[in-house]
Amino acid sequence: MKYSLPLFAALLLAPLEFTHGAPASSKPNILFLVADDLATRLGCYGDKAAITPNLDRLAKEGVMFNRAYVQGAVCTPSRTSFMLGLNSNHAQANHFVTHPDTMTMGRWMREHGYQTAAIGKLDHDDPNDAYTDPKAWDVRVKREEMNPTERLQRSPFDEDLGKQRKNVSFIGLADSPGAVGDYVRTTRAIQFFDNERDPNKPFFAAIGFHAPHAPWDTLKQDFENHDPARFLLEPTPAEATPLPAGSMLHEPGMEMTEESQRKGQRGYYAAVTFMDTQVGRLLEHLRSKGLLENTIIVFTSDHGYHLGWRGQWAKHSIDEQVLRVPLIVRHPQGMKGATANGIVELLDLFPSFCEFAGLPIPETLDGKSFLPLVKDAAAEGKPGAFCKWGNGRTVRTERWRLTERYDGSRELYDHHADGAEYYNVAQVPQNQPEVQKLGAMLASYFGPLVTRPLKPMKGKE
């Protein structure tokens, strides 16, 4: 039988339009994978030093979002935002602790017919699960319940502060995968699919990886496979615009020797490679069980990471390298090998999952479904991505980032000329219309800026 092109396209995309109240058998499974501290240091994002074959393959089988942004510069505010679908106006870092009746992503899926499972760190790593909705998960396995039984050797990775040394991370090298926590978590997820999955319900399974959060644990082989010479270093240009005091955790940033930088990057990239292998294990297992073709897979991270930008080695700032994250969506009937350049935010995940599953979207959510970009990667995204954290607030549009500090200072970065955000052009006369336009966007979103002295940044999650 032959189809006309418009009819064929309509048939191809029809399964994306799940109807509300459809029987469970017709609803897709959803596998939600969350990395920790992962910047866009993946091969599919153009990083030539990365060894990430499984995530690269996932991107070829789905849509890679090039402009996905978080709403928190560290773990807890970011995760709180996307698990609740709320922006930083409506959800603080401990929002669910103080407002436990707030609807969560997992509870909504569970109440609408999904079997839900959470394995590892999704909301926040709290031994008492204070950040986790007890009504959200049919199966909940905390990280503390999945400790490796084997041991690995860790060595410190330090930052030279001149008169003292500050530990940044540890590099842990294992002889076998069972000594690395993410292997144990992945094995536990496979156990859920084999022994606990309800075949009469679609599943919503959320898996939180530790990597590449410090310590950087990995296999010795993964560490050895990374050639330190391939890493790109980021020395701060001598003419770079100084940042306002209090804008970053370390002031003004501590430059390392080239050897030290390459050692730190090697540990980080190796941990990413190990996590990539675990993603491959999960996808292959779903494929072997015949589940992959009816499973939507979403991979992202809670925020990015510096790895040397302005001498910084962690997060704790509201710049591009921390707020931009990888986001890959593999939908069985979605586009393949496509790149979406429209702006999306991670608070859009909750409404997107609802629309993927054909469920109603809670009216209280701040996010907006990005299903249109899964259907058509060329579709338009949001006008801007917003974040308020620490000593300032910021908006990122297709070309520009404007940051307003609480001391009244402003930074404007032109991403057509300065993707690393080294040169503040807020004072350039011809840029004043853009400064005023973006400032109005921030005022509309967050309200008027209330100035105050900047406080020293603290390195809390």
For residue 161, is pLDDT > 80?
Answer: no
Structure confidence at residue 13 (pLDDT)? 42
Q: Is 159 helix (H, G, I), strand (E, B) or coil?
A: strand
Look up the domain containing 157 and give its range.
Answer: 27-383
Q: What local confidence, expressed as pLDDT, does residue 19 receive?
A: 36
Phi, psi of 442 (to 5 degrees): -65, -40
Whether 427 maps to a domain, the answer reads no
Q: 456: exposed, middle or buried (C-beta count within 10 Å: 0-12, 13-18, 19+)? A: exposed
Q: Which tens digits make up the pLDDT trace of 308-339?
A: 999 888 999 999 999 999 999 999 989 999 99
> Measured between alpha carbons, how far is 354 from 41 in angstroms, rounded to an integer?
29
Share of residues in the chain with pLDDT > 70 (%): 92
Burial class (CB in 10 A: 0-12, 13-18, 19+), 233: exposed
The reply to whether 124 falls in a domain is: yes
Residue 42 has pLDDT above 90, yes or no: yes
Domain assignment present for 454: no
For position 17, what pLDDT does the model report?
44
Query: If you ran DSSP here, which 8-state letter would residue 71 be given?
Result: S
Residue 397 has pLDDT above 90, yes or no: yes
In a domain, 352, yes or no: yes
The reply to whether 243 falls in a domain is yes
Give the CATH number for residue 256.
3.40.720.10
Question: Is 107 within the bounds of a domain?
Answer: yes
205 pLDDT exceeds 70?
yes
Class of residue 416 by CB neighbours under 10 A (exposed 0-12, middle 13-18, buried 19+): exposed
Name the more confident of 245 and 104.
104
Task: Establish if 423 belongs to a structural domain.
Answer: no
Angstrom distance (rounded) from CA 65 to CA 385 = 14
Q: What is the pTM of this model?
A: 0.93
Give the tens place of pLDDT for each residue, 338-389. 999 999 999 999 999 999 999 999 999 999 999 999 999 999 999 999 999 9
The pLDDT confidence band at residue 1, using thresholds 50, 70 and 90, is: very low
- Residue 5, in any domain of the structure: no
Instruction: Give the other-Cβ count within 10 Å of 435's Cβ.
Output: 19
Q: In the predicted model, is pLDDT for residue 6 greater than 80?
A: no
DSSP secondary structure code for residue 33 in this structure: E
Q: CA dist 345 to 68, 166, 326, 383, Å?
A: 5, 33, 11, 11
Q: How many domains does the chain have?
A: 1
- Classify 198 as helix, strand or coil: coil
Least confident among 2-16, 260-274, 281-295 = 2-16
Q: Are 155 and 133 a contacting pair, CB within 8 Å?
A: no
User: Is 124's pLDDT higher than 80?
Assistant: no
Q: Which of 75, 106, 107, 70 is nearest to 87 (CA)?
A: 70
What is residue 163's predicted lDDT score, i.e. its pLDDT? 55
Distances in Å between the Cα of 58 and the Cα atoms of 6, 108, 344 are 27, 27, 19
